[in-house]
Amino acid sequence: MSFLNYLVSGLSLGSIYAIIALGYTMVYGIAKMLNFAHGDVIMVGSYVCFFAMMRFELPPVIGVLLAVLVCTILGIIIEKLAYKPLRSAPSLAVLITAIGVSYFLQNSALLLWTSNPKVFNSIVGKGSVNIGALSISYVTLLTVGICVVIMIVLTTFINTTKMGKAMRAVSEDKGAAQLMGIDVNKTISMTFAIGSGLAAIAGVLLCSAYPTLMPTTGSMPGIKAFTAAVFGGIGSIPGAFLGGILLGVIENFAKAYISTEFSDAIVFGVLIIVLLVKPAGLLGKQVNEKV
């Protein structure tokens, strides 16, 4: 039965990757840029929730909501100050700026909250549900549940609402979207807001499962989630979910059955193989234009 336990914890880790990967993939799809500061937004969200719960003794739900609010605003501000002035700049300039924003956030966190690790109290109790030999902790249940809810809500939003359809239009062709009367800047801002809000949720879930919180907490999960987004096909929302979940499961199995030290190497090795076979990722789009 240990196989099932590894699978469940892999799904849980994968759900966190998936929620983070959404932020990468949506921003890439719409603004055509890689926001490497995304991982650090996760860290900020975790600190906000941590202080709300520990210092101000607010209930976890309020802590999570505050984290989402702060990160949403942070995402909008980052976009406005750092990326918007570079809208027509070469993509390399935007990439370097994103790395700069990432360092800025990490070092600000270092100044504000020091490098001492904080012990994050899970937002749900420590108990678990036991089915035979299979034991699923509350955090795992919550994480997978939230991931499924986000997947359903986001897919519905993108496919059926006017704003969601406008986002798809902008991701396909900014110029044509403008000709429809869609405000492209507003749409990009909205995308950063959604992605950063989701990053806050991912941060809280991450720290609930792995309770050490430091200014660098967001970096590695951020890179893994970016990998997951590429794995699934960057720009594709279902791809981000699939990539995230698969990455989490593969990583956990690699840790359990092969080697803990090599698990990351195995994960990235799988990515390389997938990209060799399917360069656009598992669910990447490839549309041929007709004449």
- Binding of another protein by 84 (CB under 8 A): no
- Binding of another protein by 126 (CB under 8 A): no
Q: How many CB atoms lie within 10 A of CB 169?
A: 18
Give the nearest distance from C-beta 96 to another protein in angstroms.
24
- Binding of another protein by 184 (CB under 8 A): yes
Under 8 Å between Cβ of 41 and 218: yes
Under 8 Å between Cβ of 190 and 6: no
Give the nearest distance from C-beta 228 to another protein in angstroms.
22
- Binding of another protein by 183 (CB under 8 A): yes
Identify the residue among 1, 89, 176, 273 touching another protein (CB under 8 A). Answer: 176
Six token digits for residue 80:
């406005």
Identify the residue among 80, 84, 278, 285 touching another protein (CB under 8 A). Answer: 285
Q: What single-letter DSSP state applies at residue 80?
A: I
Q: How many CB atoms lie within 10 A of CB 184?
A: 17
- Binding of another protein by 162 (CB under 8 A): yes
With respect to another protein, which residue has the nearer C-beta, 130 or 286?
Answer: 286
Q: How far apart are CA 112 and CA 90, in angstroms?
A: 33
Characterize the bridge pairing of strands 212-213 and 118-119: antiparallel
**Which amino acid, one-letter code, is at 149?**
V
Interface map 231-250 toward another protein (x if CB under 8 A): --------------------
Binding site for another protein (CB under 8 A): 162, 165-166, 168-169, 172-173, 175-184, 285, 287-291
